[in-house]
Amino acid sequence: DGGITQSPKYLFRKEGQNVTLSCEQNLNHDAMYWYRQDPGQGLRLIYYSQIVNDFQKGDIAEGYSVSREKKESFPLTVTSAQKNPTAFYLCASSILAGRETQYFGPGTRLLVL
C-alpha cells in the first residue's frame, strides 16, 4: 500500500537530548513537510522540502533541523535548543510543493521527561 509512515508513535526526550523523528513515503512525491501541533491548536510549518537535497525553513524552524538525502525520507531532529518540544509532530507529502493534494502520516507524540 502507498502511504506515509512515521516512527516512533511516541517518543520521550530527556533534557538536553537531541531526538530524531522518522518520516518515510512511498508515494513518489517530490515535496515533504513537517508540522507541529500543540494541544487544541492548528498546525504550524517547521520545515519543507521541494526536492531531494533541498529544504526551506517554515514558520517555526528554530530548534529543529532536517535532511533530505533520499526522495522517500525526510527525518526531523528536535535539538536541545528547542526549549518546549512537547507536541504532536506530523509529516506530509505532495506531488509538488504547494500544489495538488497534501497527504499526512499518522504523527509522532513527543514528550519531555
Partner 1 sequence: GIQVEQSPPDLILQEGANSTLRCNFSDSVNNLQWFHQNPWGQLINLFYIPSGTKQNGRLSATTVATERYSLLYISSSQTTDSGVYFCAVVPSGTYKYIFGTGTRLKVLA
Handedness of CA 85, 19, 43, 97 (dihedral sign): positive
Residue 23 touches partner 1, criterion: CB under 8 A: no
Question: How many angstroms separate the CA atoms of 33 and 93, rounded?
Answer: 6
CB of 23 to partner 1, least distance (A): 14
Distance of CA 24 to the CA centre of its chain: 10
Residue 87 touches partner 1, criterion: CB under 8 A: no
Among 8, 62, 106, 111, binds partner 1 (CB under 8 A): 106
Among 42, 83, 84, 113, binds partner 1 (CB under 8 A): 42
CB of 42 to partner 1, least distance (A): 4
Residue 107 touches partner 1, criterion: CB under 8 A: yes
Question: How many angstroms separate the CA atoms of 4 and 23, rounded?
Answer: 7
- For partner 1, how many residues bind (rule: CB under 8 A)? 28
Residue 104 touches partner 1, criterion: CB under 8 A: yes
Given a contact cutoff of 8 angstroms between Cβ atoms, the answer to whether 64 and 48 are in contact is no
Among 7, 18, 62, 98, binds partner 1 (CB under 8 A): 98
